[in-house]
Amino acid sequence: MATGNINVTAENIFPIIKKFLYSDHEIFLRELISNATDATLKLKHLSTLGEVKGDIGNPMLEIKVDKEKKEIRIIDQGIGMTGEEVEKYINQVAFSGAEEFVEKYKDKVEDSGIIGHFGLGFYSSFMVAERVEIFSKSFKDDAKAVRWECDGSPKYTLEETDRTERGTEIVLHVDDESLEFLEESRITELLNKYNKFMPIPIKFGTKEETLPLPEGAAEDAEAEKITVDNIVNNPTPAWTKSPSELNDEDYKTFYRELYPMQFEEPLFNIHLNVDYPFNLTGILYFPKLSKSVDPTKDKIQLYQNQVFVTDNVEGIVPDFLQMLRGVIDSPDIPLNVSRSYLQADGAVKKISSYITRKVADKLTSLFKNDREGFEAKWDDIKVIIEYGMLSEEKFFEKSDKFALYPTVDKTYFTFNELVEKIKPAQTDKDDKTIVLYASNAEAQHSYIDAAKAKGYEVLLLDSPIVSHLIQKLEGSKENIQFVRVDSDHIDNLIKKDEDVISKLSDEEKETLKPIIEEAIPKETYTVQLEAMDSNANPFMITQPEFMRRMKEMQATGGGGMMGMGNFPEIYNLVVNTNNELVSEILNTKTKKKQERLIQQAFDLAKLSQGLLQGEDLTEFIKRSFQMVK
């Protein structure tokens, strides 16, 4: 038997490991299983090279919990260690890695999420154990089995033992502060969280399975039950396979495996697979978005060599794709660093760009191969795509191939198709093509109707970031202007060379304007007299495009004008000087009747915009009933 001291240069390292960020001490199991997996994969590799004698069988890992003895055992059938290797890898290499980790992060509370990201390894055992034993036998024939023990002080014991099985068994003697890990349900939870897709089978206890009845069995025959190993993981998840090996049902099955509580099928998936200039595999799913979607649940999961790391993929996956679901697995992503470091890291930038390109290529392919199906999914995916167009320049450049612009009549155009369709009719006298749009087809129905009567197309753009998007499109496309259909009367939205003659003279207009201004709130409404079609409404309320758009942009972040979101609502009251009611208002002899006509026409205009509410609405209803008596 040999005893010795671990080469400690950092004072009191074990208490630091033990206490370090208590909330994360569950990672000990992930670390030990990762080590056991590595040992097993190394054995398999040496076996393929012919360096291991005999058949290695199908090695697995096993987790055992003994509540009475307060023990957790992690057992592998891997490469094992000799006494010299234990001395090297446990007393020197593993410890120095732990020491370096603690030195680097002991003062960084804000980095609490990164403990154990493959930096602490074996010594994370002491987060939950007061004493740790290692029993190990190397695959080498002449090697003696050894036992190592340490009680959390720098002292250790190393001796030969009579173990005959190849591999390593780690025994944790759990301390009184960590008794939760002796609960079967807690271990099951951790195995599901971190080790669900480890590449080596993991056994945790046994379970009963019912065998199928043989053909021709009697009706009252009872099926035989057998006890089998409870394998808690899937060693070959879908993302580790080639896309050619998988069909649509395989992808859906894996989605359900990832998110057991998600009952809605994904819309489509994107399989990621690249090995140069970085290594990355994974599957991303576009979920069916709804108002009840919780962005904090069912997020993209980041793995490293099939070991779960985190579902916080900020800085790795572009922001606009973080509403997707699925898995990314890469050994090339630095894990124990801040988001700002990730954003500056060259490999991570390349990974983020690759993911963006793959998503854009997939969307292009879906659009080309099944346009009708793509149009049917548009409402479910448009927010992600529009956000991507705003936030990622390369995605925006590719978006012309698949981004859709639906009309109020549910016809879908790409941008180029839209411009080609509307250019002949919707180009104004300054040679600018005007794209008319509505944000609410019901509320803006009368304005849409007036535009359609002229033969114009009206888009339905109703996402919360539409103001930002159209600003971006106007800045990148030549001679294009977006105008909401209710921002002015239709002849002003697309100004042509021809002028409409007003029935009222300039003198009559000068007489009429102050009469109307006196009857309406000046702080909110600006009166604007316009010659329109005689069939158009006498009064129309519009909101200036610039003012409304800036307010919307301010409300959703940005907009370029500080405080615009707090500005009072300012509207135009457009008065149609060719409408008979307007002439009647001008020519009415009694002021009381004049005021009543103005108020009624004004309230009807407000009603059409959803602006008539509260006391004003009550008064309008009373007045309307009086008029129809």
Is 113 labeled as ligand-binding?
no
* Distance, CA of 181 to CA of 178 (rounded, Å): 6
Q: Which two tokens stand for residue 551?
A: 């307010």
Q: Which two tokens stand for residue 605?
A: 């205009």
Write the class of the CATH domain 12-206.
Answer: alpha beta
Q: How far is CA 451 from CA 414, 475, 483, in A?
A: 21, 25, 12
The pLDDT assigned to 112 comes to 36
Is 168 labeled as ligand-binding?
yes
CATH topology of domain 403-498: Rossmann fold (3.40.50)
Can you give the residue ranges of every domain in the chain?
Answer: 12-206, 238-373, 403-498, 506-628
* C-beta of residue 576 within 8 angstroms of C-beta of residue 538: yes
Q: How far is CA 355 from CA 272, 307, 359, 598, in A?
A: 8, 20, 6, 59
The pLDDT assigned to 107 comes to 54
The pLDDT assigned to 491 comes to 83
Regions of the chain where pLDDT drops below 50: 9-11, 21-23, 108-119, 337-339, 559-565
* C-beta of residue 243 within 8 angstroms of C-beta of residue 232: no
The pLDDT assigned to 239 comes to 95
- Tokens 């980041």 locate to 302
Is 76 labeled as ligand-binding?
yes
The pLDDT assigned to 21 comes to 42
Q: Any residues with CB less than 8 A from the CB of 377 and at least 6 apart, and which?
A: 267, 268, 286
* Distance, CA of 190 to CA of 63 (rounded, Å): 12
* C-beta of residue 301 within 8 angstroms of C-beta of residue 326: yes
Q: Any residues with CB less than 8 A from the CB of 332 and at least 6 apart, and which?
A: 278, 279, 280, 347, 351
Is 4 labeled as ligand-binding?
no
The pLDDT assigned to 7 comes to 59
The pLDDT assigned to 114 comes to 36
**CATH number listed for the domain at residues 506-628:** 1.20.120.790
What CATH architecture applies to the domain 238-373?
A: 2-Layer Sandwich (3.30)
